Structure 1
Amino acid sequence: MKKNLVLKTTLASALLFSSLSGAVFAHDALEEGVSKEIQFVFDASEVQVLPYSVSGSRNLKFLHQAASVQLNVVNGVQNNTADVYAHKGYAYIGTHTANGANGGVRVFDLKDPSNPVEVSVFANEIPNTWQEKVIVKSVNTPHFKGDLAVVSLQQTSRNNTNRPNSIGGVLLYDVSNPAEPKRLGFYKLDRRISGTYELYLTTQGNRAILLASNPYADYYTHGVEKDFQIIDVTDPTNPEKLWQFDPRMLPEIPADFNGYHWYAPDGKTRPVFNHSVITDNNGHYAYVSMWDLGTVIFDIRDPKNPVYLGRTDYRDNQKGAAHSAALARGGTILIETREVANPVGVGYEDAYGYTRIFDIKDKKNPVLLSEFTTELTFDIPPTSTGRNTFAKTVHDPKVLGNTLYLSYYSGGVLGVDITDPSNPVEIARYTSERANVWGVFVDRNYILASDMGQGLKVLLRNNSGNGNENNENKPIK
């Protein structure tokens, strides 16, 4: 029987997350002291004892919990969630490394938002991989018409000689019938590369274009393969690489760049790799999160010959860590989240990751408008023990109208009013006990959140602010 998790109205209990067993899962796998291969994940025994009934209000400002439902156990394994996406009334949830990985993508029917029903599992056939990100779009090309899903694959142990069938890349599926996904193709990466972390799917006329973020590809292959690639998936059974970004094309990156360590003009050695990418709704511009190189903007209207336009940059005392991006105001405002797990460092400010907002009307010259922080940002333990934690950093951004939604690990989901992007104001927060929110997605009148240990959360918006819970039981049309 489905059990609903009640909201905690204070953040204090959620911060218990920082003391959970497990290690930090850095999105900079090469950063000293933190490892990309492990995260604060819940093992099977922990999932069984997670609290599903706690005191407090179910309403917090204008976010109302409609449902909290755990992933189904598959082949005796309880998987943790990764990112979440929605398309045509269905939620698509990636899965993490916990309990052996290979949890695949889980599809939930959201006709009744108070009772999401898991209807299928797919993309779990490549051994020793995990499926972080899924994007679904309706496409119409000469080769395929329907709903196309692209799924990122990462190896649980890169280039392991004892796992010859493990390989990273992107799986492509027909999900026109979400209950019966059908595999179409596989874009395979060099086995030296961990895999594709985040990705995006867009269309340009009757052409379908995949944008893939393959962190450290440049570093691991000594420049043969690059971190950011554009792939033509017009025929999803035969993906074709069109172009890849070589940072050495930029004047500030020297020709002897090793694919990761950038000896920046500010005198610091900064990490550079591609973690994420999005496009605008028309597929004209790509926004590529290149960690300490910032968010790099390309004109991709000719995907074989993209044009570099500009990038965000940082203060000398600020870690870059450009992790993910979102757009607002018709693509004239850029939101950049920075995932900083280690809040201290010689020559840097003491702070966990926070959000920056830019005016990009002139894409060649992004202008910083504001920086959004929370009480978590500067809540730094006095000693090194416990500092390397993702519990207090921002993660992913999504925008609907003038509201920015942020996934914030132990902070849960935050709603931020960006009507005035130079003065962002927190207006809502959803934080369950022992929250560990990885992804957030906004669609119509609901917000989806993927909590790594607690599964899928469905939150409904009540813009009237009157606390009426009747909306929670209305079906999503």
Structure 2
Amino acid sequence: MKDDTLRLFGEVAVDGAAEVVTRDTWAYVATGDGFAVVDWRNPNRPELVGTWDAPGTGIADVKVDGDLLAVSTQGGEHDHGPGEDPDVDPDAQIGTHLYDVRDPTDPRYLSTFQVLPEGVHNAHLVGDTLYIAKEAPFDESALIIVDVSDPANPAELSRWVLEDVHPELDSVTNFVHDVYAQGDYAYLAYWDAGCRVLDVSDPTDPVEVSAFGQAPGADRGDDGTHWDRVFAYPGNAHYVQPSPDGDHVYVGAETYAVQSGGIRVFDVSDFDDPRQVAEIEAEDRNPGIFPDTAHNFDVTANRLYTSWYDAGARVYDITDPANPEQTYEYDPDGSSFWTAVRARGFTVVSDIGGGLAFLHEDHGRLGAPGFEGTDAVPYHDRKRRRDR
């Protein structure tokens, strides 16, 4: 019988590793206080090209398209790095920074699209358009669509606010956590309000065309127990990605309570009649420890590449989306995973705080990477909000 364990083909240490995205033979990694660039032309010997401090703090998200890199920051209080003006207002450092990466070994800062007061946790970059999930403060959450055709001068095109369209969903438990754009549509992970699909063919006038996966009680408003509801299952639409043909949408839930969140599969071939057809449930591999929940994943035509914090990275056959079947996994002791993406025939995962692992179904060795990751899932942004 064929071994179902993914093999470690290559690894590279990246301090503070969180989100990873790839373009060609380059990987870009969010590091908390900036970003790193990894050259993996040889996936057996990936090399850390360098790390760059970016303005602001809490940098957990990076996106790349073509020669443009988007780096999102959630805060502005930090020690000024080389080349930064110590007299610059910290507010000017909050938002999404744009870098020219025509030469990935020498990223060039271009501009910042400012998002106040609490910055950007996640964004998505497609061509000349940047989609920003303005998550916090929760009562000001919105999707912001930005024209970056001139990345030195980004310009807001529009913003979409759930409560403007659905006043009954005005609740601190309903906020946009992430966004994925494909074709004419933007898919929003809107926490307890589920997934919202917008037609963005005219980016100056986004229009909701479908909604699904809303949690029971999403219209309860603030009843004094909202913090328990924010962190608890059901609900918590955290990450969303459609299949390449757009017929199915995968929605992951991130929870910090008794029951960890899984990934739900929706058939959206008819936007007027979306239907849940499957659910991949979280596995309780660490009894009494909360982070077995789903995090970021990647969808191809017939495979789903997933990260589950302390419960490993797993690959599912989704040839039949209604019946996902696990085919491979990678779950070494001492690792926690932020991202799993498919690139160049490899599963690329970011081991939180430690670095990148390049995994293959057939080639490589069994075992954990040599760098030191962390078992502690970073939740600084959630704790900060709770303490306010």
The answer on whether the counterparts of 1:396 and 1:440 sit within 8 Å (CA) in structure 2 is yes
In structure 1, the residue matched to 2:75 is: 155
User: For 1:130, what is the secondary structure of its paired residue?
Assistant: coil
The answer on whether the counterparts of 1:437 and 1:451 sit within 8 Å (CA) in structure 2 is yes
In structure 2, the residue matched to 1:178 is: 104
In structure 1, the residue matched to 2:19 is: 83
User: For 2:19, what is the secondary structure of its paired residue?
Assistant: strand
Structure 2 distance, partners of 1:413, 1:125, is 29
- Picking from 110, 115, 120, the partner of 2:40 is 110
- Picking from 360, 370, 377, the partner of 1:460 is 360
Structure 2 distance, partners of 1:108, 1:251, is 43
In structure 2, the residue matched to 1:165 is: 90
Read off the aligned partner of 2:96 and give its amino acid letter. Answer: V
Is structure 2 residue 264 aligned with structure 1 residue 356? yes
Offset of 1:237 from its aligned partner? 0.6
Structure 1 distance, partners of 2:237, 2:255, is 9
Structure 1 distance, partners of 2:109, 2:188, is 28
RMSD: 2.4
- Picking from 175, 183, 206, the partner of 1:273 is 175
The answer on whether the counterparts of 2:260 and 2:282 sit within 8 Å (CA) in structure 1 is no
Is structure 2 residue 256 aligned with structure 1 residue 328? no
User: For 1:155, what is the secondary structure of its paired residue?
Assistant: coil
The answer on whether the counterparts of 1:89 and 1:110 sit within 8 Å (CA) in structure 2 is yes
Structure 1 distance, partners of 2:354, 2:270, is 42
1:209-245 Cα shifts (integer Å, max 9, x gaps): 00001212462xxx5xx42110111110111111111
In structure 1, the residue matched to 2:281 is: 373
In structure 1, the residue matched to 2:377 is: none
User: For 2:90, what is the secondary structure of its paired residue?
Assistant: coil
Offset of 1:450 from its aligned partner? 0.6
Read off the aligned partner of 1:419 and give its amino acid letter. Answer: T
Structure 1 or 2, whichever has the larger Rg, is 1
Percent identity between the two aligned chains: 27
Offset of 1:454 from its aligned partner? 2.6
Read off the aligned partner of 2:63 and give its amino acid letter. Answer: I
Structure 1 distance, partners of 2:126, 2:263, is 25
Structure 1 distance, partners of 2:167, 2:268, is 21
Structure 1 distance, partners of 2:299, 2:76, is 31
In structure 2, the residue matched to 1:450 is: 350
In structure 2, the residue matched to 1:347 is: none
User: For 1:419, what is the secondary structure of its paired residue?
Assistant: coil
In structure 1, the residue matched to 2:8 is: 65
The answer on whether the counterparts of 1:445 and 1:461 sit within 8 Å (CA) in structure 2 is no
Structure 1 distance, partners of 2:104, 2:179, is 25
Indicate how the Cα distance of structure 1 residues 374 and 289 shifts in structure 2: closer, same or farther if over 3 A, else same.
closer
- Picking from 125, 133, 137, the partner of 2:65 is 137
Quick check: 308-317 or 109-118, which moved more? 308-317
Contiguous gaps of at least 5 residues in structure 2: 79-87, 218-232, 366-388
TM-score normalised by the chain length of structure 1: 0.67
Indicate how the Cα distance of structure 1 residues 156 and 237 shifts in structure 2: closer, same or farther if over 3 A, else same.
closer
Offset of 1:250 from its aligned partner? 2.8
User: For 1:432, what is the secondary structure of its paired residue?
Assistant: coil
In structure 2, the residue matched to 1:420 is: 320
In structure 2, the residue matched to 1:264 is: none
How is 1:89-100 mapped onto 2 (pairs within 5 angstroms)?
Answer: 89-96=25-32
Indicate how the Cα distance of structure 1 residues 274 and 415 shifts in structure 2: closer, same or farther if over 3 A, else same.
same
Offset of 1:296 from its aligned partner? 0.5
1:151-210 Cα shifts (integer Å, max 9, x gaps): 11111769xxxx9525420000110110011111110122x2x2111111113xxxx000
In structure 2, the residue matched to 1:200 is: 124
Indicate how the Cα distance of structure 1 residues 114 and 130 shifts in structure 2: closer, same or farther if over 3 A, else same.
same
Read off the aligned partner of 2:110 and give its amino acid letter. Answer: L
In structure 2, the residue matched to 1:142 is: none
Structure 2 distance, partners of 1:178, 1:315, is 42
In structure 2, the residue matched to 1:245 is: 160
User: For 1:176, what is the secondary structure of its paired residue?
Assistant: coil
Structure 2 distance, partners of 1:367, 1:252, is 24
The answer on whether the counterparts of 1:218 and 1:227 sit within 8 Å (CA) in structure 2 is no
TM-score normalised by the chain length of structure 2: 0.82
Structure 2 distance, partners of 1:412, 1:247, is 34
Structure 1 distance, partners of 2:214, 2:180, is 21
Offset of 1:111 from its aligned partner? 1.0
Residues matched between the structures, number: 340
Contiguous gaps of at least 5 residues in structure 1: 1-58, 72-78, 97-101, 139-146, 262-270, 344-350, 463-467, 471-477
- Picking from 203, 215, 230, the partner of 2:135 is 215
Offset of 1:411 from its aligned partner? 1.5
Offset of 1:416 from its aligned partner? 1.0
Is structure 2 residue 147 aligned with structure 1 residue 232? yes
In structure 2, the residue matched to 1:340 is: 255
User: For 1:361, what is the secondary structure of its paired residue?
Assistant: coil
Read off the aligned partner of 2:158 and give its amino acid letter. Answer: W
Quick check: 365-374 or 354-363, which moved more? 365-374
Structure 1 distance, partners of 2:279, 2:167, is 25
Offset of 1:248 from its aligned partner? 2.0
Structure 1 distance, partners of 2:176, 2:107, is 29
Read off the aligned partner of 1:230 and give its amino acid letter. Answer: I
